[in-house]
């Protein structure tokens, strides 16, 4: 576990100690999950108590429908550090507990096991690279090393699995002059529903692609500008600083009626969400600065802010109180919910598990807040959500939401 390996920073260690000191429950929980001699029975007792407490709390919240339901045993804040070592242990224990400990007549949530006769595996690293000549390479099944040569530029798959570009100097992400002076050739990388991928652009900038996302870019940037195009989906960017070379992301209007958007940056970290089933294009800034322009309005963002280009308006609005870290939690392997309704939760699940979502009956108006690991199978995620007066049935590639 991370803290036992001595990998926490000084700030993280202080935060962890403060959390442990907040209550005896926190201290006992920490002791149990860090005790290598702890038995499965001990962990089951803790999990059962946690589940019982959360179920009671959920019933009490029926009187306050708009109070967000917190996924307490998988928190992001204030337990950012605790989660790094607790998630794996708690999920394993909860999964075992749900499978083996609840039988008819013993619990108000016995329907969980019966509802999920089938399961849906989590998504993973999947993408297709389309070269300038139209050739397609399935990246998740391609071997590491050189994948293709385009002029003087090689496309390589690194040992980490990510894609990078290398010129004749042999350095990934650092192309020589002959490459940048060559005819501009474009590649595109696309992830399917249930896929994600990371790429290092020719200038050394890094891009994480979420599910159902396409990014088009030149294999070598021309002097004076760097421009890529995001068509649908979501991507997180870490832009390499290049003096005199501003970086621009053109956000294509993937959704009918949605206006095009240009995001101009210099050296910064930010996320763009351009899914067609979301009500707006969301640009969230973590560091640096970006300027957005939709042809009608120009907006400058500061760290911790989010711009929303809404479908029903030509105006760009700025949210100054957004949970920026939560908006990009997907790239770190987490679903993150910040006071959102069940529809927003299910949109994330639909893309990651590549399923259709349908609703039956009147679904309670509840809000969800917290984080859940994205590497968990769908049934584990649904088990957690079901404690909050919402139920689910998996039928093939469909999840049915019921009251």
CA–CA separation, 110 and 108 (whole Å): 6
3-state secondary structure at position 319: strand
Higher pLDDT, 168 or 99: 168
Where does the pLDDT of residue 144 fall: very low under 50, low under 70, confident under 90, or very high at 90 and above? very high
Between 201 and 76, name the one with better pLDDT.
201
Residue 25 confidence class, pLDDT cut points 50, 70, 90: low
Over pLDDT 90: what percentage of the chain?
49
Q: What is the structure's pLDDT at 242?
A: 87
Residue 373 sits at φ, ψ, to 5 deg, of: -60, 135
Torsion angles phi and psi, residue 399, rounded to 5 = -115, 125
Task: List CB contacts of 25: < 8 A, sequence separation 6 or more.
Answer: none
**In the prediction, which pLDDT does 315 show?**
86
The DSSP code sequence of 95-162 is: HHHHHHT--TTT-TTTHHHHH-SS-----EE--EEE-TTS-EEEGGGSPSEEEEEETTEEEEE-TTS-
Walk me through the domains of the chain, giving residue ranges and CATH numbers.
Answer: 10-120+327-402 (3.55.50.30)
Residue that wins the pLDDT comparison between 34 and 218:
218
Percent of the chain with pLDDT over 70: 65
Sign of CA dihedral 137, 143, 149, 153: positive
Which of 19, 40, 96, 68 is closest to 369 using CA atoms?
A: 68
pLDDT category at 300 given cuts 50, 70, 90 is very high
Is the pLDDT at 35 greater than 60, yes or no?
Answer: no
How many helices, marked H, and strands, marked E, lie in the chain? 9, 26
* Residue 65 CA: distances (Å) to CA of 7, 347, 385: 41, 21, 15
Measured CA angle at 311 (ends 308, 315), to 5 deg: 55
Instruction: Find out whether 232 and 252 touch, Cβ atoms under 8 Å.
Output: yes
Q: Is 253 helix (H, G, I), strand (E, B) or coil?
A: coil
Q: What is the DSSP string of 226-252?
A: EEEEEESSEEEEEPPP-TT--EEEEEE
Closest CA to 266 of 236, 235, 288: 288
Element (H or E) spanning 15, and its range?
A: helix 10-22
Confidence of residue 343 (pLDDT cuts 50, 70, 90): very high
Number of other CB atoms surrounding residue 254 within 10 Å: 17
pLDDT digits (tens, 9 = 90+) for 183-233: 689 999 999 999 999 999 999 999 999 999 999 999 988 888 899 999 989
With tokens 């800034």, the residue in question is 285
**48 has a pLDDT exceeding 80:** no
Average pLDDT over residues 62-74: 46
Distances (CA, A) of 111 to 248, 286, 343, 375: 50, 41, 22, 23
Lowest model confidence (mean pLDDT) among 82-91, 182-191, 387-396: 82-91
- Element of type H or E holding 54: helix 40-60
């Amino acid at each position: 576990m991370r803290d036992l390996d001595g990998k926490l920073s000084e700030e993280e260690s202080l935060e962890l100690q403060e959390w442990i000191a907040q209550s005896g429950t926190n201290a006992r929980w920490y002791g149990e999950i860090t005790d290598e001699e702890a038995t499965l029975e001990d962990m089951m007792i803790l999990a059962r108590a946690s589940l019982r407490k959360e179920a009671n709390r959920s019933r009490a919240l029926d009187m306050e429908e708009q109070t967000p339901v917190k996924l307490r045993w998988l928190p992001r804040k204030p337990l950012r550090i605790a989660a790094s070592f607790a998630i794996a242990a708690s999920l394993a224990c909860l999964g075992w507990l749900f499978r083996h400990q609840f039988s008819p007549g013993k619990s108000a949530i016995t329907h969980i096991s019966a509802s999920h006769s089938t399961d849906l595996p989590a998504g993973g690293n999947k993408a297709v690279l389309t070269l300038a000549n139209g050739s397609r390479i399935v990246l998740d099944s391609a071997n590491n090393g050189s994948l293709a040569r385009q002029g003087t530029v090689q496309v390589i798959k690194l040992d980490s699995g990510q894609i990078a570009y290398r010129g004749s100097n042999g350095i990934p992400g650092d192309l020589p002059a002959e490459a940048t002076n060559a005819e501009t050739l474009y590649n595109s990388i696309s992830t399917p529903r249930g896929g994600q991928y990371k790429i290092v652009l020719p200038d050394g900038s890094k891009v994480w692609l979420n599910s159902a996302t396409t990014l088009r870019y030149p294999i070598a940037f021309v002097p004076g500008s760097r421009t890529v195009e995001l068509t649908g989906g979501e991507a997180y960017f870490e832009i390499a600083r290049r003096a005199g070379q501003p970086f621009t992301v053109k956000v294509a209007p993937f959704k009918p009626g949605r206006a095009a958007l240009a995001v101009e940056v210099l050296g910064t970290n930010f996320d763009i969400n351009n899914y067609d089933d979301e009500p707006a294009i969301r640009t969230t800034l973590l560091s640096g600065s970006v300027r957005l322009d939709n042809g009608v309005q120009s907006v400058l963002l500061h760290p911790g802010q989010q711009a929303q280009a809404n479908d029903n308006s030509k105006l760009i609005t700025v949210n100054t109180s957004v949970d920026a870290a939560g908006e990009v939690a997907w790239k770190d392997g987490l679903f993150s919910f910040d006071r959102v309704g069940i529809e927003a939760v299910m949109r994330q699940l639909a893309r990651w598990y590549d399923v259709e979502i349908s609703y039956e009956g009147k679904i309670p108006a509840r809000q969800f807040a917290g984080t859940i690991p994205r590497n968990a199978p769908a049934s584990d995620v649904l088990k957690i959500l079901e404690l909050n007066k919402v139920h689910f049935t998996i039928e093939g590639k469909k999840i049915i939401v019921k009251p």
